[in-house]
């Protein structure tokens, strides 16, 4: 049996930062993740994707951010169970929680923090006939692992969120031809990213097709053409393409969480915004897995949630003990 102060379910960026925040309060963390390595979606889906909204980093690659978070957590000696999924959670009397993985590993913890990592995220696929015929290396992908794979290639990206915008900006300098297709005239992404994409279109560096949807894909042994239809006029456009990347987001699967008697709304865990605690004392939820009024699914917000959660968890574990705030700028990390 593994014994720890805090069991963190999910080894993505928010879960990793929770190690640091908990460590400053002298609480030990054990992280569990279904993936075989730390990093969550950043490492698994887009390790080389640039991230622009982390304070102090004008731009940082996803994997680089994960590596830095691991380095930051190192002084607090976290332990990990990777490649396993939490299947069972039960409260032992008034004290600890007992968690069991699908491989039979048992973890005993005073506090449980859910930061994702309970299973898989499936890409949302567009309703395009024969799309599956061009998957598995034949031109259609739903994530970008290595952008260099697309150098001097003809690319079509479909979507209107941050991922579609960010990859369009990045790949505009990589691909020989790049077309961005979006079903609307307005985007859901950051205004600055929208402005950059519009500037790329105006300068002729990308082909921007708005108010349009993917209609069909064509090719012999691999993808050769993408057919696009205008929503209003129904006019069709055929674009030559080596690759099609539909970026319509991911559908999370909560899995066993749904059986833990937590308050859940639209596949997310409801929390108290004072400290990101759930309806079960001793269980917290941080990052994209939680929901509350005006929730922003940003890594930055997840870091904030991890900090408040850690101080609440300390009070939960040490009732009646007053914590004197210390600052790393004064004491350094080694003093904690």
Please check whether residues 242 and 260 belong to one and the same domain.
no
Q: Based on the domain organization, do 234 and 257 belong to the same domain?
A: no
Residue 194 lies in domain: 125-246
Task: Work out how many domains the chain is built from and give that number.
Answer: 2
Q: Are residues 266 and 117 in the same domain?
A: yes
Residue 27, pLDDT above cutoff 80: yes
Give the C-alpha distances (Å, rounded to integers) separating 91 from 85, 117, 153: 18, 21, 54
pLDDT above 70 covers a percentage of the chain that reads 93
Domain with residue 157: its CATH number is: 3.50.50.60
Is 336 within the bounds of a domain? no
What pLDDT shows up at residue 320? 86
Q: Which of 265-274, 290-299, 316-325 has the lowest mean pLDDT?
A: 316-325
Q: Which residues make Cβ contacts (< 8 Å) with residue 169, sequence separation at least 6?
A: 193, 196, 197, 200
- Determine contact, residues 77/22, Cβ cutoff 8 Å: no
- Cβ atoms of 316 and 282 closer than 8 Å: yes
Other beta carbons within 10 angstroms of residue 32's beta carbon come to 26
Domain termination site, one of 246, 279, 314: 246
pLDDT confidence of residue 129: 86
Of the candidates 90, 137, 107, 103, the one whose C-alpha atom is nearest the C-alpha of residue 9 is 107
Residue 117, pLDDT score: 53
* pLDDT higher than 60, residue 284: yes
Please tell me the distance from the alpha carbon of residue 269 to that of residue 135, in angstroms, as a whole number: 33
- Residues flagged as binding site: 33, 41, 46, 86, 121, 288, 329
Same domain, 132 and 242: yes
Asked if 289 and 197 sit in the same domain, the reply is no
pLDDT at 322 over 90: no
Query: Are both 91 and 133 inside the same structural domain?
Result: no
Residues with Cβ within 8 Å of residue 94, at least 6 apart in sequence: none
Indicate if the pLDDT at residue 301 is higher than 60. Answer: yes
Identify whether 180 is part of a domain.
Answer: yes
Q: 249 pLDDT exceeds 90?
A: no
Q: What is the pLDDT of residue 336?
A: 59
Is 303 contained in some domain?
A: yes
Task: Answer yes or no: are the C-beta atoms of 170 and 147 closer than 8 Å.
Answer: yes
Confidence of residue 35 (pLDDT cuts 50, 70, 90): confident
Are residue 154 and residue 108 in the same domain, yes or no? no
Chain-wide mean pLDDT for the chain? 91
Find which of 14-18, 49-53, 102-106 is predicted with most confidence, using mean pLDDT.
14-18
Please give the DSSP secondary-structure letter assigned to residue 73: H
Binding site residue list for FAD: 33, 41, 46, 86, 121, 288, 329
């Amino acid at each position: 049996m593994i014994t720890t102060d805090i069991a963190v379910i999910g080894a993505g960026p928010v879960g990793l930062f929770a190690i640091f925040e908990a460590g400053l309060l002298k609480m030990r963390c054990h992280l569990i993740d279904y993936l075989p390595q730390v990093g969550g979606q950043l490492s698994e889906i887009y390790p080389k994707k640039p991230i622009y909204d982390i304070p102090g980093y004008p731009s940082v690659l996803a994997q680089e951010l994960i590596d830095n978070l691991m380095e930051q957590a190192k002084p607090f000696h976290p332990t990990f169970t990777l490649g396993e999924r939490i299947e069972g959670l039960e409260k032992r009397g008034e004290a600890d929680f007992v968690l069991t993985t699908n491989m039979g590993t048992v973890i005993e913890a005073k506090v449980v923090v859910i930061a994702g990592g309970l299973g898989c995220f499936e890409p949302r696929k567009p309703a395009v006939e024969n799309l599956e015929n061009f998957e598995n290396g034949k031109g259609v992908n739903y994530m970008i692992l290595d952008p260099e794979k697309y150098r001097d290639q003809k690319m079509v990206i479909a979507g209107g969120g941050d991922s579609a915008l960010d990859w369009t900006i990045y790949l505009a300098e990589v691909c020989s031809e790049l077309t961005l297709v979006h079903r609307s005239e307005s985007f859901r992404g950051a205004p600055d990213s929208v402005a950059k994409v519009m500037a790329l279109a105006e300068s002729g560096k990308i082909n921007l097709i708005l108010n349009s949807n993917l209609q069909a894909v064509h090719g012999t042994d691999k993808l050769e053409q993408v057919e696009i239809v205008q929503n209003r006029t129904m006019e069709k456009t055929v674009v030559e393409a080596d690759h099609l990347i539909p970026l319509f987001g991911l559908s999370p699967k909560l899995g066993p969480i749904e059986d833990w008697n937590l308050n859940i709304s639209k596949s997310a865990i409801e929390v108290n915004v004072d400290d990101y605690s759930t309806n079960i004392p001793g269980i917290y939820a941080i990052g994209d897995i939680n929901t509350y009024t005006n929730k922003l699914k940003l890594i930055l917000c997840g870091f904030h949630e991890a900090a408040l959660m850690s101080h609440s968890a300390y009070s939960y574990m040490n009732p009646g003990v007053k914590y004197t705030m210390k600052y790393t700028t004064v004491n350094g990390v080694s003093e904690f």
